[in-house]
């Protein structure tokens, strides 16, 4: 579904991605793990066109999207849930969800999908008329994921969904991530500092260090890997 080949990205003169190659197959949950500043978020930003690659190629479903504008990439079926959630605090829950549908022109489908979201996250249904900014951190994360789902993505990019949340809420968010993957066949690329949880849900993982990928394997094998255990799992 998605291929990155020798991708290099920069912020001004600072090189954030050195030579990133990775693959995501349809139906998979793939995770990128690594320390602060390793380049995980930049990888997501690059593949959805926000930080354009200076070298290399990004291919989505056979199409070269390396130099494509972000809104065109969204229209192809890639949607990102950014780090820190970034919902619209003064818009209601329903209005936030509507923002995810700006490229769609099927009111019936939109209504069905919103009902489905409210089934998946009953708390959002209860709070549908409340401003997003009044929700708890976990509820805002659910809203940010739901807003991205409203664009009906084929590939969902999740940047640190566990950030700043209590363990019980994180467990619920990760259950939902698995359900979204299985029930609506949404492929997921998940960036996480919580390597333990991320590797448990992922089919495969990539380890990033200072702008490069240093290891890749199944989630299970990476969880059992001694170097990964020492560096990222605190074991």
Residue (of 152, 175, 165, 133) closest to 29 by Cα position: 175
Instruction: Looking at residues 80 to 109 of the shown chain, list those that interact with ligand ATP (rule: CB under 6 A).
Output: 83
- Which residue stretch of 37-45, 108-116, 142-150, 179-187 sits at the interface with ligand ATP (rule: CB under 6 A)? 37-45
Q: State the minimum distance, in angstroms, from the CB of residue 13 to ligand ATP.
A: 10
Note whether 102 and 75 are within 8 A (CB).
Answer: no
CB of 69 to ligand ATP, least distance (A): 19
What the block records as the tokens of 78 is 């890639």
Note whether 11 binds ligand ATP by CB under 6 A. yes
Binding mask 42-81 for ligand ATP (x = CB under 6 A): x---------------------------------------
Q: Would you tell me how many other CB atoms lie within 10 Å of the CB of residue 69?
A: 12
Instruction: Select from 11-19, 84-92, 109-117, 135-143 the region that touches ligand ATP (CB under 6 A).
Output: 11-19
Q: Looking at residues 177 to 206 of the shown chain, list those that interact with ligand ATP (rule: CB under 6 A).
A: 193
Give how far Cα 150 sits from Cα of 83, 96, 101, 167, 172, Å: 18, 10, 6, 26, 20
Tell me how far apart the alpha carbons of residues 52 and 7 are, in angstroms, rounded to a whole number. Answer: 10
d(CA 35, CA 29): 20
Binding residues for ligand ATP, rule: CB under 6 A, are 11, 14, 16, 34, 36-42, 83, 193
């Amino acid at each position: 579904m998605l291929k990155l080949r020798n991708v290099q990205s920069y912020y001004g003169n600072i090189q954030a991605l050195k030579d990133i190659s990775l693959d995501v197959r349809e139906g998979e949950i793939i995770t990128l793990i690594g320390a602060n500043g390793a380049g995980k978020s930049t990888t997501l930003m690059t593949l959805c066109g926000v930080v354009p690659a200076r070298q290399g190629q990004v291919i989505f479903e056979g199409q070269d999207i390396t130099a494509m504008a972000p809104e065109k990439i969204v229209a192809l079926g890639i949607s990102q849930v950014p780090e820190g959630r970034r919902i619209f605090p003064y818009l209601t829950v329903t209005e936030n969800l509507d923002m995810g549908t700006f490229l769609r022109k099927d009111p019936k489908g939109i209504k069905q999908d919103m009902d489905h979201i409210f089934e998946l996250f009953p708390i959002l249904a209860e709070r549908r008329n409340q401003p997003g900014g009044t929700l708890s951190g976990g509820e805002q994360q659910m809203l940010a994921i739901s807003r991205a789902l409203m664009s009906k993505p084929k590939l969902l990019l999740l940047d640190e969904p566990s950030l700043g949340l209590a363990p019980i809420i994180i467990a619920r968010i990760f259950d939902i991530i698995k359900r979204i993957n299985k029930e609506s066949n949404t492929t997921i690329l998940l960036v996480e500092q919580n390597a333990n949880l991320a590797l448990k849900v992922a089919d495969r993982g990539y380890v990033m260090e200072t702008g490069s990928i240093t290891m890749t394997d199944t989630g299970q094998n990476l969880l059992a890997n001694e170097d990964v255990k020492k560096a990222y799992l605190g074991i």
